[in-house]
Amino acid sequence: MTTTVFIIWGIHLLLIPALSPFCIGVTRKIKARLQNRAGASVWQPYRDLRKLFCKDEVISQDASWLFRVVPYLIFASTLVLGASIPLFSARVQNLLTGDFLVIVYLIAFGTFLLALAGIDTGGAFGGFAASREMTIAALTEGGLILSLLTLALLCHSTNLAVIADTLGPRYFLSFVPIVLAFISFMIALLAETCRYPFDNPSTHLELTMIHEAMILEYSGKRLALLEWSAANKYLVFIALGANLFFPWGITHSQSSIALLVALLLFVAKALMFCLAIAVLESSIAKFRFFRLPDLLFTSFIISIIALGLTVKS
């Protein structure tokens, strides 16, 4: 493996954690502008993380060792996710963790750990939030897996890097199933990243919180890691949507110019996703919890239709 490939791999590894707080800041800024507010700076999430890393921690006496190690495990899992998905270069193909089923279950692993941490201290809010989170995760998984399976069948590979690299020439030949799979994927994205209409990422009302209620007992460095992990997960889903369903801009070249252009195209696509999500969140209200299974079941049905069209063709 050449030095250039090592550098590319290093950029792949660091890009998600470096860029994810910026994407959160951009989404918040766009939402504020759409609501006629000035909003905080797009760099505010970085300042929040720095502030939390400098604060002391308060840990419940009822917390076990699990409560203490979960933030590190979740953050590590998001780093593995970031290093396993296609970003801007086709020279990095992770054969060990690049399979779409591995990615889905790494995401589910992080959700499971967070739910365990939510109930570990025995608090009422953490318990009901963990129950809600696992309900949503269980209903989301089917639509997410089948939407990615549609692309896997079109490209005859389950490796995400291969899918992103080979889907382009077949894109318009299978346009309808890809669009349907993308709709299903977007619903799963909103559910897994705790966005509207599933959750309000900025709420402080205990009775409506899901993600925020599970991390209510955390403070200081561990809270910073959990917030950073949530931002990483957000960008991971954006990267999957941008590079799998709009598979253009990934380069095979090792030249600095080609890599820089591919990196800038990836950032541009990520910002377009942030814009679309912000507009969508500003256009709809949060659903009641008992309406959410209907929306997730719709995602599942749409992905089945996409899969059926793929198999038929």
298 has a pLDDT exceeding 80: yes
- pLDDT grade, residue 22 (50/70/90)? very high
CA separation for the pair 101, 159 (Å, rounded): 9
Going from the C-alpha of 58 to that of each of 92, 101, 124, 128, 203, the distances in angstroms are 41, 37, 18, 22, 22
Read off the pLDDT of each residue in 149-173 and give the average, rounded to a whole number.
87
Q: pLDDT for 281-292, tens place per residue?
A: 888 888 888 888
CA separation for the pair 67, 218 (Å, rounded): 9
Q: Of 77-86, 223-232, 253-262, which range is least confident?
A: 253-262
1 has a pLDDT exceeding 60: no
Closest CA to 209 of 140, 93, 128: 128
Q: Domain ranges for the chain, please list them.
A: 3-312
Which class for 159: exposed (0-12), middle (13-18), buried (19 or more C-beta within 10 A)?
A: buried
Task: Assess contact for 92 and 9: CB atoms under 8 A.
Answer: yes
54 or 313, which is more confident: 54
119 or 92, which is more confident: 119
46 has a pLDDT exceeding 90: yes
172 or 229, which is more confident: 229
- The stretches of the chain forming alpha helices (DSSP H) are 3-34, 44-53, 65-84, 100-120, 124-155, 160-166, 175-192, 211-214, 220-244, 256-283, 292-312
Going from the C-alpha of 1 to that of each of 38, 81, 93, 158, the distances in angstroms are 48, 22, 12, 24
Q: pLDDT for 179-217, tens place per residue?
A: 999 999 999 999 999 888 888 777 666 666 777 778 888
